[in-house]
Amino acid sequence: MKTCLVVDDSSVIRKVARRILEDLDFEIFEAEDGKEALESCAAQMPDAVLLDWNMPVMDGLDFLMELRKLEGGANPKVIFCTTENDVAHIAKAIRAGANEYIMKPFDRDIVEAKLQEVGLI
């Protein structure tokens, strides 16, 4: 079973994402901010990360840059999932090593399409 780490400070978003991803046969881990997410990745690298941008403690972009430095940290497919929906943010995320980008609000079709895009389904 493929694994996905859902990183978002909103428990509602995590719950929605969990429901969609479980439906798509992923095993889910959750983190509330970038720091927690890094710890989770250090313990076990997921196949995918669904990543919010604005979070307390450590934001999504900083997490991504730290993740890519970890051993095995190049492997997870990182999909941003954020309300930041302008070209500048998207380009910045891609430059930092994000594989895909979801602009909120999202639904099942979009999550599925993006997971297909990164080759996980």
Partner 1 sequence: MTPQEYSFLQGFLKEKSGLVLSNDKQYLIESRLMPIARKAGLQTISELIGKLKGFGDRTLQTAVVEAMTTNESFFFRDKTPFEHFVDTIVPHLVETRKRGRVRIWCAAASTGQEPYSLAMSLKENASKLGGLSFEIIATDISHEVLEKAKAGFYSQFEVQRGLPVQLLLKYFTQHGEMWQIAPEIRSMVTYKPFNLLESFSAMGQFDVIFCRNVLIYFDQATKTDIMQRLAKQMPDDGYLLLGAAETVVGLTDAFQAVPGKRGLYCNARGAAGKTASPTQPKIAVGQSAQSNFGSRALGAGQTVAKPSVFSSSRLSSIPGGRK
* Furthest C-alpha separation in the chain: 35
State the minimum distance, in angstroms, from the CB of residue 120 to partner 1: 14
Cα angle 120-1-45, degrees, rounded to a multiple of 5: 75
State the minimum distance, in angstroms, from the CB of residue 25 to partner 1: 19
- 53 touches partner 1 (CB under 8 A): no
Query: What does the chain come to in residues?
Result: 121
**Per CB under 8 A, which of residues 71..110 are in contact with partner 1?**
85-87, 90-91, 94, 100-103, 106-107, 109-110
* CA 7 remoteness from chain centre: 6
Sheet holding 100-103, edge to edge: 26-31, 2-7, 48-51, 77-82, 100-103
Residue of 8, 49, 114, 115 that binds partner 1 (CB under 8 A): 114
CA atoms of 121 and 92, how far apart (whole Å)? 26
State the minimum distance, in angstroms, from the CB of residue 71 to partner 1: 27
- 57 touches partner 1 (CB under 8 A): no
Residues engaged in binding partner 1 (CB under 8 A): 85-87, 90-91, 94, 100-103, 106-107, 109-110, 113-114, 116-117
